[in-house]
Amino acid sequence: MDRRTFLKTGVLLTGSVFFNRTPLKSQDVTSSNLVIVKNGSPAQMAEKTFELLGGISRFISKADVVLLKPNISWDRRPEYAATSNPELVSAIVKLCLNAGAKKVIIFDNSCNDARRCYPNSTIQEVATAAGADVRFVRENQFIETPIPGSTSLHSWPIHREVFEVDKIINLPILKHHSLSRITIGFKNMMGLTGGNRGRIHFPFAEKIVDLNRVIIPHLTIVDAIRILRRNGPSGGNLKDVENLNTIIAGTDRVLVDAWSAKVFGLDPKSLDYLQLAHNAGMGEIDTEKNPPMTFSFT
């Protein structure tokens, strides 16, 4: 065993202590598990989202270290809707810190150079100003992680913070994607992984579900304030951007993606990965049987 393997193994063992963490179960709580908030400012909508979900104290405890995962994957200005809404990111950071979180960590293993994506998406600036710890991702931070119960992806390098933080909040942006037709919460978790990520694309549905077996967010908040209709996920054409001014959030990540797909105009059941995730017992897919609590500011 060389030095590198030795160190890696050590980290892996340490990580495995935190490995048995399970997400909040829906029966733990009495308030709604899925909310859709519309037509407010990003900060207003973020606050309302947590309020309707039963208060932020349901998710954030005193001294929690929170990993907030927006999409900062592309070197685009925020108005191109390729990256998460910076005002929403900033609002959530502030809410977490006000609720007593010790630290809010933000990073994304971006597709373009992170040194371009972070500033150009403006997330680096606004999130830092809000008090978050915005970091770059480095290859040495990934841990080759076995995926129990996987069907296609048996192990993959996953960022070590995933196993070290107390809470994970997934903050994807709702976008068109040619392969998965739409990219929401499940796909956003790819930004916490390393390796040759292109390989996750075939077969995509099985592999993205497998990845989400070990990366388990406590809460998913979908940014549908500006959505990308075509030429996703990188975008680059303002004509493809549509203002929906909507947030979809909840603890059931399958249901959140399902409702987001519905908001986008797709039948959730037609999405292979969602069907697979549902069959794997990761959450509900039926939007008819699981209506959201909705709120509109106008």
Query: What is the contact surface with other proteins in residues (CB under 8 A)?
Result: 7, 10-11, 14, 75, 111-116, 120, 133, 135-141, 177-179, 196-199, 201-204, 231, 233-237
Q: What end-to-end distance do the CA atoms of the chain give, in Å?
A: 63
- Rounded to the nearest whole angstrom, what is the least distance from the CB of residue 220 to other proteins in the complex? 21
Q: In the bound complex, what is the minimum distance in angstroms from residue 36's beta carbon to other proteins? A: 28
Determine contact, residues 162/168, Cβ cutoff 8 Å: yes
Minimum CB distance to other proteins smaller for 29 or for 129: 129
Classify 45 as helix, strand or coil: helix
* Measured distance CA(85)–CA(17) in Å, rounded: 34
Within 64-190, strands assigned E span 65-70, 103-106, 133-134, 142-146, 155-159, 167-171, 173-177, 181-183
DSSP 250: E
Q: What would the two tokens of residue 29 be?
A: 């709580």
Which CB atom, from 55 or from 201, has the smaller least distance to other proteins? Answer: 201
Minimum Å gap between C-beta 116 and other proteins is 6
* Coil vs helix vs strand at 23: coil
Residue (111 or 263) nearer to other proteins, CB: 111
Instruction: Output 3 or 289, the one with its CB closest to other proteins.
Output: 3
- The least CB distance from residue 105 to other proteins, in Å, is 9
Q: Which is nearer to other proteins, 107 or 259 (CB)?
A: 107
Please tell me the distance from the alpha carbon of residue 111 to that of residue 122, in angstroms, as a whole number. 16
- Smallest distance from other proteins to CB 48, Å: 33
| Closer CB to other proteins, 102 or 213, in the complex | 102
Count of other CB atoms within 10 angstroms of residue 281: 8
Shortest spacing between CB 161 and other proteins, in angstroms: 10
